[in-house]
Amino acid sequence: MKESALDRFIRYARIDTQSQDDSNTYPSTKKQFDLLNLLVQELQALGIQDASIDEYGYVMATVGENLPKGHPAARKVPTIGLIAHVDTSPSASGAGVNPQVLTYTGGDIVLPANPQVVIRAEENRDLAENIGKQIVTADGTTLLGADDKAGVAIIMTAVERLIASPTVLHGPIRIAFTPDEEVGNGTKYFDIKKFGTAAAYTLDGDSVGELNKETFSANSAIITVHGRNIHPGSAKGIMVNSLRTMADIIVRLPRYMAPETTEGYEPYIHPHQMEGEEAKTVLRILLRDFNTAGLNIQEEILRRIVADVQPLHPKARIELQIKESYRNMRDSLEKDPRVLDCLWEATRRTGLEPSWVPIRGGTDGSRLTESGLPTPNIFTGGHNYHGPTEWLAVEGMEKSIETVMQLAQVWVEKALT
């Protein structure tokens, strides 16, 4: 192959594509186009003539069917899609990413540009599976961007290998790269009809062999406290400090229902961003539950907290707003067993023991599935997303590429049954 998945990933990781909350543009940052436009050029260089980008930044392309004339599955294999997002999280800097490639020998990893940032073995069980193998980290000053540039590199490498391997028989495969997934808008203008697939797969997972058909159902809550500011020297009986009111709200959020105290299928209420001063404070909260009905319970918890705090600060005005984000894709995915069966079999054929693991988060696949396009998720080998301790298993990327290659072939076989 002309370029390895690792080399591709390093190139992509160095391009700043961080998205931005509360932007008035789409994509939320223009710099995402730097990578999106590059991907169009690289797809065209591979000979894909229909590779294109639209005004919203969606890149789409087609790897055509290569079944020989007379093959019993010719023109019977449904079109499938492969999707990854180019943006990185607003939670940590994506500028000046300096990937570090090392052979892991065990123990903790102290990152070179900031020794205070340590990837701890006790917190990363998958590190033990990579002793003697290559991994990639950032240098301690930025995130790495494996979420989801690892997925982008996997798809691009798989496309190149499919084109270069005529004996690997496959039906039509559509490719899509999206912006703004990290700020919840990855599919806002995604044209499912134009994409034209029967099913799709996002390359946006983590541990090797883990497959995802379940995500949280998600809402977001915004609590706004309106106070009144005045010079503190003459504030008695006049100032209404919104920060104090918000502090009383935060301290009442249930500790048993927080990301740091929950795992598996347990729900959480997560205050993740706050801006404020005396006159106005805004708190943003993530509401997550695998059971969609549980979101109503979480909303009621917040409403009770607001009701309890309001009498303590009678001059403050407290507002609570709930917004729908995405829904668990499990129920819709299970309506067409082929989509999941083909993925399971493809992963098994790489020599891995696949497992279905719930995502304590969401992907573009959550909304696409809800909109009628079944889209489960495939591992990439990345870990510790959204922060400077992020790392990527190179073997995980390679196994993901193998899974994609096998997936294309399994769909051909499924068309014959």
Active site residue 21: no
Token digits for 305?
A: 């907290």
Whether the Cβ atoms of residue 136 and residue 10 lie closer than 8 Å to each other? yes
Q: Is 41 helix (H, G, I), strand (E, B) or coil?
A: helix
Taking Cα atoms as reference points, which of 248, 245, 237 lies closest to residue 279? 245
Following DSSP, what letter does each residue of 359-413 receive, concatenated? BSS--HHHHHHHTT----EE--SEESTTSTT-EEEHHHHHHHHHHHHHHHHHHHH
Residue 347: CA atoms inside 13 Å, Cβ hemisphere, count?
25
Task: Supply φ then ψ for residue 169, to 5 degrees.
Answer: -80, 135
- Residues 409 and 329: their CA atoms lie apart, in Å, by 25
Active site residue 331: no
Taking Cα atoms as reference points, which of 128, 168, 176, 129 lies closest to residue 152? 176
Token digits for 413?
A: 């076989």
Contacts 24+ apart (CB under 8 A), 52-57: 56/26, 56/27, 56/179, 56/188, 56/189, 57/26, 57/27, 57/32, 57/33, 57/178, 57/179, 57/180
Q: Is 286 helix (H, G, I), strand (E, B) or coil?
A: strand
Q: Which of 16, 87, 147, 390 is catalytic?
A: 87
Q: Which of 16, 147, 148, 181 is catalytic?
A: 181
Count of CB atoms situated within 10 Å of the CB of 356: 14
CA angle 166, 168, 169 (to 5 degrees): 95
Token digits for 248?
A: 């009383």
Residues with catalytic annotation? 87, 181
